[in-house]
Structure 1
Amino acid sequence: MTYQLRDYQTDLLDRINKAWFSGHRSLLCQLPTGGGKTIVFSTVVHQASKSGLKCLVLAHREELIKQAADKIEIITNEPVGIIKAGYPANYDRDIQVASVQSLVRRLDRCPQFDLIVVDEAHHSTSRTYRTILDRYPNARVLGVTATPIRLDAKGFRGIFDELICGVTVSELIASGSLCQYKYFASERSMSVENVGKRQGDFKTEDVARANPVAGLAGDVVKSYRDYLPGKQAVIFCINVEHSIAIAEHFKAAGIIAHHLDGNSSSGERADVMTQFTDKQIQVLTNCALFDEGLDIPSLDGVILARPTQSLSRFLQMVGRALRVCEGKEHAIIIDLAGNYERLGMPDDVRAWTLDGLEKKQRERSKLVRNKETGEVEEIVIDLTPTGTKFIEIVGRSIELTPELSFWIDKCNRILFERELNDRKAAWCMYRLMESETKPPLEAWQYLGKKLGYHHGWAKYKFAEWQSISEREVSA
């Protein structure tokens, strides 16, 4: 079976191959959740396999392993070996998908590999991954992730020597590759007072202590009834006890719900996921299980019933709901924990580097709400007239028309030229002003957002350009 690659996926593949041919051995590739990372790396594996190379794909969860193996077999039409406890070993197959936990104990039994793909590569700094990668020093390496940042916000230099970033979440939404979303946040967020930190995120036991499940569960059920009634939702919880309790509250309210976590058996997880996919279950609660690897395009929304300081975890959670599905107008994201205040919005522009998130960009994406106007930098907050203590966070979105598509392409070419020639940000403005036809306001908004400017910059520059054009005409 042949997948029809989207233009941005083809561009990403070209850049990956060019980086390898230019001498880079170990690449880190970034593409947002829902952008088709599995299809991209499966195509890379297919190309390598056709050239006679032995390929290894690393993943850390059974769902990810099965997804990768299934997709690769479809694309390559070749049998794939799975290296994991409970699966028969087929080391003679040229393509292997392996559990890192199993492979690290079987390295002496495995063949040499020419290409190693690391799925969810933001985990690759752990000792287990590094032990495996060190075993194959001559292999080409491709790490793939939506969030090239560690929980402690540090980067990956020393493991990867080149970062290749794909299109942004906002670009995928504008092109229809991801769906629009509505973001609801509680005016009274979950407490993080006196909560300690561990490895860059809040301590789970402290968060649970600060937010008793009895009151929290009621808020979760109410928010579901208000914004996702009768729809399918995944709820991200603080710990297993909270997840179980919240599922029970849903059941008591007559809503079909089920809890899963990392200790659930493979059989139970498979059975529940089948029921959820078939819409026999409305609500799925979990603890640290579905941050990654959940691929259900019909999912209507997510509820964040846990605070986090990890940008990676936040983007992975909200990204579960952004996949496109027929009949799905928008995703619903309900934030009970004030995560948007710490980490921004799902489609904020972020400057990824091998050293972590660029500091200036992190500062620019800080959100501060004006209580009088309801405005937050880069977004607008409207109080919803529902009587509930929730506010809707509405991100700036641009409708992609054929004319605007031309201007977005032009802006992207300007940004690429700027990066290639190491130009200052202001240079992009003058390049856009050199256009033969007058750029619309949306073009200035797109360019400003890509450069990390405040939203008012676009309106100011558009008005300034109009004034210049009028003076030239009158002269």
Structure 2
Amino acid sequence: MTKQVLLAHLRGEISIGIFPMSLSDTCSFLAIDFDKNNWREEVSILRDTAEQHGFEGHIEISRSGNGAHLWFFFEEEIACQQARNVGKRLLELAMQESKDIRFSSFDRMFPNQDILPKGGFGNLIALPLQGEAFKKGRTVFVDKHFQPFSEQWTYLQQVQKIGQKKILDFLGQEFSDTVDDTVLDCSLSNVIRVEKRAISSKTNYLLRKLASFPNPEFYLKQATRQPTYQTPERIYLFEETNEALHLPRGILAKLQEIFETVTIRDNRNSLSPIQISFKGRLRFEQELALADLLASENGLLCAETGFGKTVLGAALIAQRKCRTIILVHNRQLLEQWLERLGEFLEIEEEEAVRYTPSGRVKVIGHIGQYGASKKWRSKLVDVVMIQSLFQLDVISDFLSDYDMMIVDECHHVTALQFEKVVAQFASQYLYGLTATPERKNGHQPIVFQRIGPILHTAQSGQYDFKKRLLLHLTSFGKLDLEQSNSTNFASLNDWLAKDLHRNTLIVQDIFKLYQEKRNILVLVNRREHIELLEKLLIEKEMPNIFCLSGASKRRDTKELLKRISELDENSPFVLISTGKFIGEGFDMPKSDTLILAAPLSWKNNLIQYAGRLHRPYQGKTEVRIVDYLDIHVPYLERMYQKRQIAYRKMAYQVGEKEQTQVLFSGRDYEEKFREDLRNTRSTVYLQLHSFTSSRIQELLGLLRGKQVVIHVSKNHKLSEWLMGLNSDNVKVKLVPERIGTTAVILDSNLVWYGNLSPFTYQSDDQASLLRLESQSIATELLEKFENSNIK
């Protein structure tokens, strides 16, 4: 910025703007933009609210003349996070005073994020007093009546800037977040409609807040210094007109908790009941789940694969005796539902028919199908591919033929098109079925707000399987710097698929398990990997090797699965497939072993794949997962640590306490770890990712007189202090890379490994430490130590 540039702006020759954020993530002002039709009311309310709390806000008419900026100037630069928190708090308070201010204002702040994005400068705001606009009464500061101050410079000279103490005092105050209405009057259809004239501004604000949630993607981008442009800070599921709020129907139970009285005008569709009965028999835990579903008109059942959700769905339909639509998202699920409903439902109604183009009558039956090339509805019980509804002109007309909707794998409702369908269901009963509603992007509140709360969770302990986890270390990336340093998951998968040493290890494990008569699913990420593993297994002259992928033809797939199901109990099999194919809807209850031949990190995907093993089958008493730990590639090593969360959640055990592999948590490792340190006889190798000085000194006391080699990142804040421990017995070595995993090697045979650090007094409930007695694994880790680029 030069004097000449500034003068050109003031004369109207150019227009300049300013980036609020400094390189140190601080700012000297906060501005909020208002550009809706009622911008005058909105900016006035916020300015008045700010004044009530001791903040002086300054209104500037925007360059278009159809909006305004409200500016707050600070005495000194403050953290952008603090500035934005002031803006958010003021907006929240203003919304409780007026129904005019919308949540969208939260995304119109300058700065628009707390942390400066990498390679960027944040958002830009045009500076006031641009010459050409000034002549038209724009980009000028105005009074409460929106009249420009006659002396703009004099006005700016008299601005009272806001001090840090006032900001901290304001942010430290607690403000009430409760409704001031005791009665809520609403109407219920596909949404909950609340008339705005019947509620206070504060209730209006809290209802809108209840029907929205913070967007995890915004905060993830911000934390990783990515631009947050076009990523909203909150996600809103309500719609609003001047007269009413339309809230998602799934929050009705919450409203009934908050308000003393909720009066409901029921405008939902209602059809005549149907004659239908259930021919099966539920297990005790299924009976419990059914009772919980029947106690509410909408909500979720959470149960692992193998619980029998489709059978339970059939029982629910029979109990409700109403016309039902079941939404699925793939052909496998559609076929599974059609098969189970045909097996477990007895429907005493006239069968539906359809007419061919030539006019011939064809019987559809009692259970219809809509999707996967057939659009034959019975309007009694229909299984519908949700994607087939996306192109309908009026989805609500289609859905009005049913009194109940069951959404299978309902966590997919977080996808916009799926949500659009479910949001238009305006009848009485709405249920969702899922193994877990949690989503990787954090959007699971959409499921709860659209469908309802969790009504029943089936505990994994209800399955009578022993669950074993077998871990094997690989040498992948050991001799290849490009592979070792890569964070490109697609490239790593390509390399993994072709890695002969790793594939040979996997095939050896498969062969050994096959010899034990185990039925094995092998999970890969690449079709090419399927072909390579198949070739290596055939070379071992193993029968019953099957391969499936998304590219397999439907007829071939059905024939192959039939062949597997017809194998006798003494004929084990190996099925190699991609995760996408054996995910939702895949049914092979004979499977008892899962080989994770390719890496994955999202715990819910692992839970879903493991669920293929958890289906009941005669004689099945133990299920196993074999996982491969690529310790030479930090990116893949971190993915394994994320998988550990899923193993703990599913209660998988790495052997028993008396065996050579044990998985410990932060609650139970201490005694055994100390015992191993005391009993070690030779050199101890420590790889530290988190530690405190007092804890290090305490544990080194157990190793007095022993040789100790410590590896730590040179960027750790205590690395210099640790270097001061160098002595005849203790050797500290600094490595340039970040260390994310604990590794302790004792006597060249005993290994402690994991993302839980025994060198700090704090512990993460989801972290774990694996204790292994294995000379080969110890040797592998020691070689990694020796090959580190140390200082």
Question: What is the TM-score with the length of structure 1 in the denominator?
Answer: 0.67
Give the AA of the match of 2:583. D
> Partner residue of 1:117?
406
> Partner residue of 1:18?
295
> Partner residue of 2:280?
3
2:630 maps to 1:330: no
Cα distance, 1:259 vs structure 2: 2.0
Q: Counterpart of 2:450 in 1: which secondary structure?
A: coil
CA distance in 2, matches of 1:151, 1:296: 26
> Partner residue of 2:453?
162
Q: Does the C-alpha gap of structure 1 residues 13 and 371 become closer, same or farther in structure 2, counting only changes over 3 Å?
A: farther
Match of 2:308 among 21, 28, 36: 36
> Partner residue of 2:329?
60
> Partner residue of 1:316?
608
1:62-211 superposed matches below 5 A: 62-78=331-347, 79-87=366-374, 89-106=375-392, 110=398, 112=400, 113-138=402-427, 140-157=429-446, 158-169=449-460, 171-173=461-463, 176=464, 179-188=465-474, 193-194=484-485, 196=487, 203-209=489-495
Give the AA of the match of 1:134. A
> Partner residue of 1:445?
none
Cα distance, 1:235 vs structure 2: 0.9
Cα distance, 1:130 vs structure 2: 1.6
Contact 2:604 2:646 in 1 (8 A): no
Q: Does the C-alpha gap of structure 1 residues 83 and 165 become closer, same or farther in structure 2, counting only changes over 3 Å?
A: same
Q: Does the C-alpha gap of structure 1 residues 371 and 162 become closer, same or farther in structure 2, counting only changes over 3 Å?
A: farther
CA distance in 2, matches of 1:118, 1:289: 20
CA distance in 1, matches of 2:393, 2:769: 50
CA distance in 1, matches of 2:306, 2:771: 26
Cα distance, 1:31 vs structure 2: 0.7
Q: Does the C-alpha gap of structure 1 residues 154 and 86 become closer, same or farther in structure 2, counting only changes over 3 Å?
A: closer
Give the AA of the match of 1:223. D
Cα distance, 1:334 vs structure 2: 0.8
> Partner residue of 1:436?
none
CA distance in 2, matches of 1:284, 1:266: 16
Q: Deviation per CA, 1:207-249, whole angstroms, max 9, x where unpaired? A: 3235534343322211111233253211110122222322232
Q: Deviation per CA, 1:385-428, whole angstroms, max 9, x where unpaired? A: 9x8999xxxxxxxxxxxxxxxxxxxxxxxxxxxxxxxxxxxxxx
CA distance in 2, matches of 1:364, 1:269: 46
Question: What is the TM-score with the length of structure 2 in the denominator?
Answer: 0.41
Cα distance, 1:8 vs structure 2: 2.0
Q: Does the C-alpha gap of structure 1 residues 104 and 77 become closer, same or farther in structure 2, counting only changes over 3 Å?
A: farther
More strand by share: 2
> Partner residue of 2:735?
none
CA distance in 2, matches of 1:119, 1:161: 14
Cα distance, 1:305 vs structure 2: 1.2
> Partner residue of 1:254?
541
More helix by share: 1
> Partner residue of 1:270?
558
Q: Percent identity between the aligned chains?
A: 18
Cα distance, 1:341 vs structure 2: 3.0
Q: Counterpart of 1:124 in 2: which secondary structure?
A: helix
Contact 1:180 1:331 in 2 (8 A): yes
> Partner residue of 1:294?
586
Cα distance, 1:371 vs structure 2: 4.9
Give ranges in structure 1 of 5+ residues lacking alignment: 198-202, 351-361, 391-475
Q: Counterpart of 1:331 in 2: which secondary structure?
A: strand
1:232-247 superposed matches below 5 A: 232-247=519-534
Q: Deviation per CA, 1:265-295, whole angstroms, max 9, x where unpaired? A: 1101101111122237821111110022222
1:393-408 superposed matches below 5 A: none
Contact 1:232 1:301 in 2 (8 A): yes
Q: Deviation per CA, 1:303-327, whole angstroms, max 9, x where unpaired? A: 1112112111011112211233222
Q: Counterpart of 1:335 in 2: which secondary structure?
A: strand
Greater relative contact order, per chain length (Cα 8 Å cut-off, separation 6+):
1
Q: Counterpart of 2:316 in 1: which secondary structure?
A: helix
1:399-418 superposed matches below 5 A: none
CA distance in 2, matches of 1:264, 1:186: 31
Moved more, 203-212 or 318-327: 203-212
Q: Deviation per CA, 1:320-341, whole angstroms, max 9, x where unpaired? A: 1123322233112111247663
Contact 2:519 2:591 in 1 (8 A): yes
Moved more, 67-76 or 160-169: 160-169
CA distance in 1, matches of 2:337, 2:588: 15
Moved more, 330-339 or 233-242: 330-339
CA distance in 2, matches of 1:379, 1:10: 38
Contact 1:235 1:286 in 2 (8 A): yes
Cα distance, 1:184 vs structure 2: 0.7
Cα distance, 1:138 vs structure 2: 3.9
> Partner residue of 1:473?
none
Q: Counterpart of 2:407 in 1: which secondary structure?
A: strand
Moved more, 322-331 or 267-276: 322-331
Q: Does the C-alpha gap of structure 1 residues 323 and 161 become closer, same or farther in structure 2, counting only changes over 3 Å?
A: closer
2:490 maps to 1:214: no
Give the AA of the match of 1:172. Q
Give the AA of the match of 1:131. K
CA distance in 2, matches of 1:196, 1:209: 13
Moved more, 188-197 or 108-117: 188-197
Moved more, 150-159 or 112-121: 150-159
Contact 2:300 2:433 in 1 (8 A): yes
Give the AA of the match of 2:378. D
Q: Counterpart of 2:286 in 1: which secondary structure?
A: helix
CA distance in 2, matches of 1:263, 1:141: 34
Cα distance, 1:81 vs structure 2: 0.5
CA distance in 1, matches of 2:344, 2:741: 42
Give the AA of the match of 1:4. R
Contact 2:369 2:384 in 1 (8 A): yes
> Partner residue of 1:344?
644
Contact 2:399 2:425 in 1 (8 A): no
Q: Does the C-alpha gap of structure 1 residues 212 and 143 become closer, same or farther in structure 2, counting only changes over 3 Å?
A: same
Q: Does the C-alpha gap of structure 1 residues 319 and 383 become closer, same or farther in structure 2, counting only changes over 3 Å?
A: farther
Q: Deviation per CA, 1:48-82, whole angstroms, max 9, x where unpaired? A: 3x2xx221111122121111111122222232111
Q: Deviation per CA, 1:373-394, whole angstroms, max 9, x where unpaired? A: 6567778655479x8999xxxx
Q: Deviation per CA, 1:13-58, whole angstroms, max 9, x where unpaired? A: 22222232xxxx4x2221112112222222222223x2xx221111
Q: Does the C-alpha gap of structure 1 residues 266 and 9 become closer, same or farther in structure 2, counting only changes over 3 Å?
A: same
